[in-house]
């Protein structure tokens, strides 16, 4: 009777092979598997899935290919109907013109500094606020969440004019319609000719909005952080409290290290959305070219050395130049994304963004 008893031949963490009487040989089992319809359906479905995903990927990636292809074309290729996607005469003229005439590297440095500062501040502030809303019970807790949602809904063009006025002569808590002085005026109003501080063409408008958690898309970041912290078990903090750790120490030493994947996700969002932002950049950096802070928005223009009014394919060519500028703007982001994309998915998956 011993022979009918199954014998374990090999056992590992997630695999087990068993020998028992009447077990078919590997070859026979493979044949059975091939003959069964179940396997075939599975194979067909996964192939179809793969083709579909490939198709969607193509739709996403094709514009990049076409932009990159155009960026290496010499001018005569652009209008040549026989040239499609692969340039006949390779040329870097568009790139060099954008770098030199459009001061790409200046824009790069300015935007890098601003995006880094904003993203760091926004991530940290979103962390603070999200933690405060999700883990503490206090009066007005729900109201604050509602205000966060409202800041997401109000289209930014609604506040455009008011923001322009506010940051050309900045004062804290100053309302224009009432003639009441703001806080800064109370402190500094004795200076002759006081009209508020002009913050246009500085980083300050971005930083002030970021610190207050009311900048571009900050509502979304706060919401994401709140959802994340909701999923963190309370027991974790409670045990820290029992061990004698204070609220803020617990936050810094227990909660923050825990939320690094989510913070990377938000940092990635904040950084890249600030990087390609047009609205706030055009609003706060204004004036003539020599006056304003040079940013990525200013790179998208036709370099003066490439302007040729007699060229027949001018419209197409200018389009290609603008697309090249676009590629140059997002290239750093794509490189960053390649390194960080696994954190993006991880952060979201672990976030328990539910409910």
Partner 1 sequence: MNNSVELKDGIENIETENPVLKFLKSVFKGKPSLEKRRARAGYVFVLPFILGVLLIYLPLLIDSVWLSMSEVNAANKTITFVGFEHYVDAFSTSGFTAAFLAGLQQLIFEVPAIIVFSLFIAVVLNNKMLGRAAFRAIFFLPVIVSTGIMETLNAADAVSSESGEGINDGTQNNSAEIISMLDVQQLFASMKVGGELVTYVVDLVNNVYNIINYSGVQMLIFLAGLQSISPSIYEACQIEGATGWETFWKITFPMISPMILVNAIYTVIDSFTRSTNPAMAFIRRQFDGGSFSSATAMSWMYFLVVALVLVVVAAIVSSFVFYQRRD
Residue whose CB is less far from partner 1, 303 or 326: 326
| Least Cβ distance, residue 290 to partner 1 (angstroms) | 22
Tell the smallest beta-carbon distance from residue 96 to partner 1 (Å).
19
Q: What six digits make up the tokens of 78?
A: 């652009």
- Could you give the CA distance from residue 58 to residue 61 in angstroms, rounded to a whole number? 5
Which residue, 31 or 187, is less far from partner 1 as judged by CB?
A: 187
Q: Which is nearer to partner 1, 112 or 211 (CB)?
A: 211
Asked if 19 and 11 count as a contact pair (C-beta separation under 8 A), the reply is no
Between CA 68 and CA 328 the distance in angstroms is 10
What's the closest the beta carbon of residue 355 comes to partner 1, in angstroms? 5
Q: Are 135 and 229 in contact (CB under 8 A)?
A: yes
Complex with partner 1: residue 213 or 303, whichever CB lies closer: 213
String of DSSP letters for 138-191: -TTHHHHHHHHHHHHHS-HHHHHHHHHHHHHSB-TT--SSS----HHHHHHTTS
Question: Considering beta carbons, is residue 19 or 189 the nearer one to partner 1?
Answer: 189
Residue 1 CB, shortest distance to partner 1, in Å, is: 31
User: What are the distances in angstroms from CA 66 to CA 58, 69, 78, 132, 258?
Assistant: 12, 5, 12, 47, 41
Place of tokens 């060519």: 317
State the minimum distance, in angstroms, from the CB of residue 276 to partner 1.
3
* Comparison of 152 and 291: residue with beta carbon closer to partner 1: 152
Distance CA 227, CA 259 (A): 12
Closest distance of CB 250 from partner 1, Å: 10
């Amino acid at each position: 009777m011993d022979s009918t008893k199954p014998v374990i031949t090999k056992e590992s963490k997630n695999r087990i092979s068993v020998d028992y009487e009447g077990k078919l040989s590997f070859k026979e089992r493979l044949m059975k598997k091939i003959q069964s319809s179940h396997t075939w359906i599975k194979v067909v479905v996964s192939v179809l899935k793969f083709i579909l995903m490939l198709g969607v990927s193509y739709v996403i990636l094709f514009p990049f290919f076409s932009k990159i292809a155009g960026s290496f074309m010499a001018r005569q290729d652009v209008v040549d109907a026989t040239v499609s996607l692969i340039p006949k005469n390779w040329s870097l003229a568009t790139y060099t013109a954008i770098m030199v005439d459009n001061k790409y590297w200046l824009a790069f440095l300015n935007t890098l500094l601003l995006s880094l500062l904003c993203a760091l501040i926004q991530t940290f502030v979103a962390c603070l606020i999200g933690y405060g809303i999700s883990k503490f019970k206090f009066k007005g807790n729900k109201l604050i969440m509602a205000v966060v949602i409202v800041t997401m809904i109000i289209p930014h063009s609604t506040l455009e004019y008011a923001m322009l006025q506010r940051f050309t002569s900045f004062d804290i808590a100053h309302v224009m319609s009432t003639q009441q002085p703001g806080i800064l005026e109370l402190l500094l109003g004795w200076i002759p000719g006081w009209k508020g501080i002009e913050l246009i063409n500085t980083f300050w408008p971005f930083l002030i909005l970021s610190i207050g958690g009311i900048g571009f898309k900050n509502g979304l970041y706060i919401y994401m952080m709140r959802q994340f912290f909701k999923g963190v078990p309370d027991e974790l903090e409670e045990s820290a409290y029992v061990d004698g750790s204070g609220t803020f120490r617990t936050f810094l030493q227990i909660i923050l290290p825990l939320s690094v994947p989510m913070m990377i996700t938000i940092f990635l969002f904040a950084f890249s959305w600030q990087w390609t932002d047009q609205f706030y950049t055009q609003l706060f950096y204004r004036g003539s070219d020599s006056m304003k802070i040079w940013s990525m928005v200013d790179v998208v223009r036709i370099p003066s050395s490439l302007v040729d009014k007699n060229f027949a394919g001018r419209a197409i060519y200018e389009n290609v130049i603008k697309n090249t500028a676009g590629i140059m703007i997002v290239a750093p982001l794509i490189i960053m994304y390649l390194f960080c994309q696994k954190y993006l998915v991880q952060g979201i998956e672990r976030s328990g963004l539910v409910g």
